[in-house]
Structure 1
């Protein structure tokens, strides 16, 4: 009987664990919701002890389902960024402050451009409010007792792995932002000084590869979870990194897209060109020397949901699939380019491939003959053209097939549009657990069972492949989209300068 590999994924709102055979067959899975406290001041926090207890409960349930099997290893992945402060005695120094915390927005806006450029030159990332350096500045100013108690500033994955093994470490993907110098793969004194966070240097963990062993399940953790005492645990990693490992990706030139509520373009590269204006984020791959460029427009499948919601009688449905089927029936009758209608998907501002928090979405090219189908296709095209815009900002269209995941990947019409716009086959796996599988493969690698990416790639994923059929037509559509987008950006600057409308 094969020994099982266990993967743990501690997300912001849910925690999952799954056990796999070495070929990727899922033997057990358990999950539970986790609580997030959203504060009126923009804070986003979690109780560190509560999260640890939920993890123990999920692992206990997954372990029960593995009765009769032997568990060989555990790999840990989790939400990234934010700051999880730990006291010298190993207890929380305060609540975890998460990646989507916005309390530091005004402080971030006040930073000198030189500071932002210094960060970008080191880790090739445009800072946002929920990064550790910005949150540490807030803690010092607003919770001095918490700052004084903090001996270790870690990530969620580090905290959970510490609970299981008694050892603390961070991996390169989680260490990337904002203080790691990618050139030396060490923390940069200049980057720490740029954010006035030199006092944080001694509290950071020296980064390690995520396929190395952190420690083993302690007697206490075994009693709490049912896991065998002594099984190896990998250094925790970023959930995105685990997902990319689970997809078998570690080579520059490979690309992956997520079409969820928001959309994400992930490009593996071995070279990042510095910019005068910082843009998007970069993280080091958990196990290789590749850099993952992460470009995340603010609107992905949310645009589809928004448009369908405007037509509850004609496009409504009991399930998301039913809604998609109704809109797809209309969209399939409309040619590429939506009969001249263009949709700019900036419903909540934009952050990639340009930063414009005040810009808003728009339809262009409406006429008396425009149909709901035209507008629906324009909405689906607009979200995809935004992703292509991100690729173009990073040097051009993908040169190899693109893997796609997320809720939008379940829509075949949308997947075909993506293939046509990108000019590359789009591969959609029937599996939706690449993060868990990647974490499990990292745990197996830490146990000495092989290379994590090769282990993950050994799973026989079944792909639906969408081959480009109308790429040439979308060359013209994309040119129209970028022209309108450029003018909309300029228009928004002018509109923002006008007196505000009375409330």
Structure 2
């Protein structure tokens, strides 16, 4: 009998439930949107109960579609969840949501972070935990809550992430996994929770609210009777601990060991690399990998494909009519292929890796440039920002292979652009649901369908589209130089203005 696995992948706006065969083939998929709440400046939140209801509905629909597809009832051997990283999902002492959840786009703690930068807290955090705190990290969010909402802070009984909240809903058990446990409070060297880290942030009093840690492929609970009635899952189905979503994407694209850079071109520019030795750098977050003695060096910024969505919505609405705007716009890109302009685009509409107040900008725009030139500049700016991050985690170009996922990866223009701009071989898996597959692989390990990550990736290995560096390497290398010069000029002028 074919084993089926269910991966639940919950991002910033959509939750997807995907039923897979054990060879990684998608049997059925259902999705539900989850609303963001932005009623308070710098707060980007969601209703936790509504999030669970949407996820449960997606699971039920996916199972119904899967059963209809195969002609008999589909009962997954196990379930697992991947969810957006960071943010804050809190439970009170009754096990109920403690207010709205903060997502990874929340920036309410920005002022507190500036104090930490000035007082040396951030520098010490980098040494101890492998990462410098950033606005949506649990540490500053909790410290902000302690200062601004002390009564709510005193009621905290469990500190969860997005995927940990959903797993709690599935099982009634509070837990986290090895990858997620390292987002703020773990010692980078021991890969375990650190009392020193909690004390550094002034959070020692809530150490007991940190959830127990399981390895990603461990069973962290089972489907309860109420959940079975709500979702259609069988009572007692094992639920794996699961994965932070960007690690799940790496796993789902076949990256479980060192030697490949995993790139996700989505809302965020995510660039990550598994390593077997650890060191700290301001250029990346060093988090736990899939096993003890393995780390994930991750360099990110909110500056990737969302810029394309903005450009289409503001400057190419006519291209939306046929449902695939880039099929229309590709002709405009082709028309300027032999006319390489010097336009540079800084893709910082929603934030940058350099400083909070560095804006997006077109540099070098002239009256004879058209929409095709501008679109190409936006695309190149996105890829140049990925290159900035990749140069941080692999400064000597020692890793020559990139595994690319995310919405942009499905367009051959972008696959080749990444290969040329990074001057590396780019491999694009023919697997659009890499995050859900990564979660499903963890479920398969928990259920004994696979005996480990290596076997799981061999059995679920997707077909790859390969892009090798081509004729545009030199042109894009020069363009990246201009891109870096533009950033240096902006940062220099910013620093000059800051001097009294």
TM-based fold match above 0.5: yes
Please say which of residues 62-71 and 170-179 is displaced more in the overlay.
Answer: 62-71
Contact 1:123–1:181 (8 Å) recurs in 2: yes
How big is the shift at 1:366?
4.8
Contact 1:254–1:402 (8 Å) recurs in 2: yes
Q: Of residues 255, 258, 275 in structure 1, which corresponds to 2:261?
A: 255
Q: Determine if the alignment matches structure 1 residue 191 to structure 2 residue 213.
A: no
Secondary structure of the corresponding residue to residue 16 of structure 1: strand
- In 2, Cα distance between equivalents of 1:140 and 1:461: 46
Structure 2 vs 1, CA of residues 62 and 397 (structure 1 numbering), >3 Å: closer, same or farther?
same
- In 2, Cα distance between equivalents of 1:51 and 1:177: 22
Match in the other structure for 1:74: 79
Contact 1:215–1:234 (8 Å) recurs in 2: yes
Contact 1:397–1:422 (8 Å) recurs in 2: no
Structure 2 vs 1, CA of residues 54 and 374 (structure 1 numbering), >3 Å: closer, same or farther?
closer
- List aligned pairs for 1:116-131, cutoff 5 A: 116-131=122-137
Match in the other structure for 2:483: 481
How big is the shift at 1:335?
5.5
Secondary structure of the corresponding residue to residue 265 of structure 1: strand
Query: What do residues 83-134 of structure 1 show as CA deviations (whole Å, max 9, x unaligned)?
Result: 2222233222333222222222212222244210121112322312222122
Query: What do residues 476-501 of structure 1 show as CA deviations (whole Å, max 9, x unaligned)?
Result: 33333323332232133346779xxx
Match in the other structure for 2:274: 268
Please say which of residues 70-79 and 262-271 is displaced more in the overlay.
Answer: 262-271
Query: What do residues 60-96 of structure 1 show as CA deviations (whole Å, max 9, x unaligned)?
Result: 2233333423421111222222222222332223332
Match in the other structure for 2:376: 377
Match in the other structure for 1:141: 147
Secondary structure of the corresponding residue to residue 324 of structure 2: helix
Q: Of residues 95, 103, 107 in structure 2, which corresponds to 1:102?
A: 107
- List aligned pairs for 1:190-339, cutoff 5 A: 190-275=196-281, 278-287=282-291, 289-308=293-312, 311-312=315-316, 316-319=319-322, 321-322=324-325, 324-334=326-336, 338-339=340-341
Contact 1:246–1:457 (8 Å) recurs in 2: no
- In 1, Cα distance between equivalents of 2:366 and 2:101: 51
Report how many aligned residue pairs link the two structures.
491
Could you state the TM-score of these two structures normalised by the residue count of structure 2?
Answer: 0.89
How big is the shift at 1:431?
2.0
Query: What do residues 392-436 of structure 1 show as CA deviations (whole Å, max 9, x unaligned)?
Result: 222233623212122221322222121111122222223211111
Unaligned runs of 5+ in 2: none
How big is the shift at 1:12?
2.8
Match in the other structure for 2:24: 24
Q: Of residues 159, 171, 174 in structure 2, which corresponds to 1:168?
A: 174
Query: What do residues 265-288 of structure 1 show as CA deviations (whole Å, max 9, x unaligned)?
Result: 22222345434xx34433322446
- In 2, Cα distance between equivalents of 1:325 and 1:428: 19
Match in the other structure for 2:39: 39
Contact 1:3–1:69 (8 Å) recurs in 2: no
Structure 2 vs 1, CA of residues 20 and 307 (structure 1 numbering), >3 Å: closer, same or farther?
closer
How big is the shift at 1:177?
1.7
Contact 2:239–2:446 (8 Å) recurs in 1: yes
- In 1, Cα distance between equivalents of 2:35 and 2:279: 39
Structure 2 vs 1, CA of residues 35 and 366 (structure 1 numbering), >3 Å: closer, same or farther?
closer
Contact 2:156–2:206 (8 Å) recurs in 1: no
- In 1, Cα distance between equivalents of 2:79 and 2:200: 37
How big is the shift at 1:333?
4.7
- In 1, Cα distance between equivalents of 2:330 and 2:499: 40
Q: Determine if the alignment matches structure 1 residue 63 to structure 2 residue 60.
A: no
Structure 2 vs 1, CA of residues 28 and 301 (structure 1 numbering), >3 Å: closer, same or farther?
closer
Contact 1:249–1:453 (8 Å) recurs in 2: no
Please say which of residues 242-251 and 458-467 is displaced more in the overlay.
Answer: 458-467
Query: What do residues 240-299 of structure 1 show as CA deviations (whole Å, max 9, x unaligned)?
Result: 122111112121231121222442222222345434xx3443332244643222222332
Match in the other structure for 1:501: none
- In 1, Cα distance between equivalents of 2:182 and 2:339: 39
